[in-house]
Structure 1
Amino acid sequence: MDKIIVVGAGQAGASCVAKLRAEGFEGAITLIGEEPVPPYQRPPLSKAYLLGEMELERLFLRPEAWYGENGIDLRMGAKVDAVDAAAKTVSVGGEMLEYDALVLATGSTPRRLPANIGGDLAGVHVVRTLADVDAMAPEVTADRRALIVGGGYIGLEAAAVARKRGMDVTLIEAAPRILGRVAAPETADYFRALHEGHGVKILEGIGLTCLNGVDNRVVGAILSNGEEHPYDMVIAGIGILTNDALAKMAGVTLDNGIATDAHGRTSDPSIWAAGDCASLPFGGVRIRLESVQNAIDQAEAVAKNILGADQDYLPKPWFWSDQYDVKLQIAGLNMGYDRVAVRDGGAARSHWYYEGDRLLAVDAMNDPRGYMIGKRLIEAGKSPSAEVVADPESDLKALLKA
């Protein structure tokens, strides 16, 4: 193993190359990213960075010089044009680079509103990259009107930031309720009340018919209920598409993203995948985990397996979201839940997901203790009774010893 190429300079790609060096790999490492900046953190982009509370340099995962000091050929603003799996080469700007192992850490791209309903108008934004947020920032100012399309966590976080900047905010969700795909009604109710308490107008079961524009700039929208309203900007939070074009070119198997085995290897033994773009076997199904922690852990596991560790990657899913003064921490996956135990501790609140008697996941709002204990219980395979969990007087910590 002499040459490793990692395509995608996000959290997963950066974690992979760092782990390769930390594990003692002395061969050539090339990290290729389309953005003209070193790898950076994405979560603060739409929060602290957009609010002006974090400088650009603090976003970077490592100083640019670190890559050269560690013998990593960091190619910024570079696009991979082609992958030849048979020849084990990638083409970058016409230059052919050979690899012994190729890691696809290509991430995902936000879904955009269709052009035929005005999605290509100026003032219509998505939240993913530094460039996205830099383009949006001048428009997120007090006394302007924002329409948020999509009631998932991205949309809710965008609504929170817009309100903190003094904007008039309306959020629409075409499904019957916000967070319909990712959280229980109890959690949706909590965040609906939170946002409405901060002055956000939330419209559920209402979609977008079209955007109105003047001089190629958005000035308003017609909603599916027939209402027409003026807006100065629009933010779309309607999901993501996995960046799997290079995987298709390489001929590897796709299944809800780039399909990998438990080691992170694709159907081509020389090609691996990690991060948002990769799907992996978990609990008898195939999943993708769109989170920073998974990007780090999966990429590090791939790095070790490339070097011969031969270890299954066993994810320990956890996620978080910051909205106003509420920190949501999620442990586990709630797929297949049939009931929710609510633990109401006043300022601290948590929702515990069960399938039968088995604990699956926990949503903890300003409840770091509930989150941490829930996470440890899930990882240990322990399932306290829902009745005990729901009793705010019960000692959660004692459940770890049961």
Structure 2
Amino acid sequence: MSHIVVIGAGQAGSSLVAKLRKDGFDGEITLIGAEPNLPYQRPPLSKGYLLGEMTLERLFLRPESFYADNNITLRLGQPVTAIDAAAKTVTLANEVISYDHLALTTGSDPRRLPASIGGDLDGVFVVRGLADVDAMAPMVTEGARTLIVGGGYIGLEAAAVCAKRGVQVTLVEMADRILQRVAAPETSDYFRALHGGHGVDIREGVGLDRLVGANGKVTGAVLTDGSEVTVDFVVVGVGIAPATHLAEMAGVTLNNGIETNAQGGTSDSAIWAAGDCASFPYQGGRIRLESVPNAIDQAELVAQNIMGAGKEYVAKPWFWSDQYDVKLQIAGLNTGYTHVVTRPGEGQSVSYWYFKDAQLLAVDAMNDPRAYMVGKRLIDMGKTCDAQAVADPETELKSLLKA
């Protein structure tokens, strides 16, 4: 009987094993996770869960009974210590598991501050796993002071939650503006104003020089402009890196993550990869997408291909971010854009449409789900639209689909 082993019990891993059973795979399935918890959603960790608006049980992707009912063996809280690709075995602390197919859904790891600048002090947190947020939550109280390092979406979401809880927030971004790596200046301006209206002190073009502490706990920060900030805790949001150490152990090819072909296969015919950790062919190049939709879609495709479907992955990138009462929805990838068109909405709603010459690449929609849906449909279909029509608020959005 064939045995499929999946390492990484997150969104991709849980989706992969569920799809195998849904599509009729009747062999053995083992899902291995380093964390002790059932597979859970990560996006609400830094929002609803940290705010206390979401319980632990609601985080779980599926109840424990699902895995038992579908004869999926869980090995939770058991990190993999070795992979022998030649022998087709995975080693845990007290167990060696043989596989016929191995899927790596190991996700990504947060970048941490080096110990040399105080990164190992108590009170310095990243926002990645349940344990991180559980450790930080008691400090997120009214009147506390925090420094958030990094002005990407992770840092801004953490800033929003802290500000809503009455924390005094200072956010530093080493680049010239927040969201510089992922968004146009228009989107940066929107979120800078939003956070400023909630009392967040955003300092752009300013980095962290070092953290200072007393008795092993962080108490302050010295910034690159020479200023000092007193803090009770620090949140580090300086990006993530694909978790590839197990893939390296298995000897598969790496290339900004685990290199896969269009079907999700790696350089080893028995090993597959999906989710944040996998880089795959896309429009003549190669990308790695860090998003929930990609983790689900890619993992389900890999499940089908393990069973012999032979399908190629066609990515349809979309993302979201929740900050205060604003929902940002992003369709497409803005890489290589030449200009941005603004479409005003009602109240706080607005959308920014990225074009490369005449071709629509992406849309950032703030509290404007209609603009997002129309932009997403156009991008998914490989179509474009007239930039002047987009900018005219009198243009009916749906008419863009007929152009």
Equivalent position amino acid for 2:38 in 1: P
What residue ranges of structure 1 are gaps of 5+ in the alignment?
none
**Pairwise mapping of residues 326-365 of structure 1 onto structure 2 (< 5 A)?**
326-347=326-347, 348-365=349-366
1:346 Cα deviation after fit: 3.3
Deviations 1:52-108 (A, max 9, x none): 101111110111121111100011101111111111111111421111110000011
| Map of 1:192 onto structure 2 | 192
- Shifted more, 287-296 versus 338-347: the winner is 338-347
| Map of 1:37 onto structure 2 | 37
Report the Cα distance in structure 1 between the residues aligned to 2:217 and 2:246, rounded to whole angstroms.
Answer: 34
Q: Secondary structure at the match of 2:147?
A: strand
1:159 counterpart = 2:159:
yes
Report the Cα distance in structure 1 between the residues aligned to 2:218 and 2:80, rounded to whole angstroms.
Answer: 34
How many pairs align?
Answer: 402
Q: Secondary structure at the match of 1:400?
A: helix
Q: Secondary structure at the match of 1:399?
A: helix
| Map of 1:368 onto structure 2 | 369
Q: Secondary structure at the match of 1:169?
A: strand
| Map of 1:320 onto structure 2 | 320
| Map of 2:178 onto structure 1 | 178
| Map of 2:249 onto structure 1 | 249
| Map of 1:289 onto structure 2 | 289
| Map of 2:378 onto structure 1 | 377
1:124 counterpart = 2:142:
no
TM-score by length of 1: 0.99
1:77 counterpart = 2:77:
yes
TM-score by length of 2: 0.99
Q: Secondary structure at the match of 1:286?
A: strand
Equivalent position amino acid for 2:341 in 1: A
Report the Cα distance in structure 1 between the residues aligned to 2:171 and 2:324, rounded to whole angstroms.
Answer: 16
What residue ranges of structure 2 are gaps of 5+ in the alignment?
none
Report the Cα distance in structure 1 between the residues aligned to 2:187 and 2:386, rounded to whole angstroms.
Answer: 20
Report the Cα distance in structure 1 between the residues aligned to 2:318 and 2:52, rounded to whole angstroms.
Answer: 27
Equivalent position amino acid for 1:202 in 2: I
Report the Cα distance in structure 1 between the residues aligned to 2:102 and 2:225, rounded to whole angstroms.
Answer: 49
1:188 Cα deviation after fit: 0.4
Report the Cα distance in structure 2 between the residues aligned to 1:261 and 1:390, rounded to whole angstroms.
Answer: 39
Report the Cα distance in structure 2 between the residues aligned to 1:395 and 1:99, rounded to whole angstroms.
Answer: 55
Equivalent position amino acid for 1:384 in 2: C
Report the Cα distance in structure 2 between the residues aligned to 1:225 and 1:181, rounded to whole angstroms.
Answer: 22
Displaced runs of 4 or more, over 2 A? none
Report the Cα distance in structure 1 between the residues aligned to 2:135 and 2:12, rounded to whole angstroms.
Answer: 25
**Pairwise mapping of residues 129-144 of structure 1 onto structure 2 (< 5 A)?**
129-144=129-144
1:104 counterpart = 2:104:
yes
Aligned-pair Cα RMSD in Å: 0.7
The percentage of aligned residue pairs carrying the same residue is 67
Q: Secondary structure at the match of 2:109?
A: strand
Deviations 1:271-326 (A, max 9, x none): 00000000011011111110001000000000000001101010111000000010
Q: Secondary structure at the match of 2:48?
A: helix
Deviations 1:1-27 (A, max 9, x none): 700000000000000000000010000
| Map of 1:395 onto structure 2 | 396
Deviations 1:158-194 (A, max 9, x none): 0000000001000000011100110001100000010
Report the Cα distance in structure 1 between the residues aligned to 2:106 and 2:188, rounded to whole angstroms.
Answer: 31
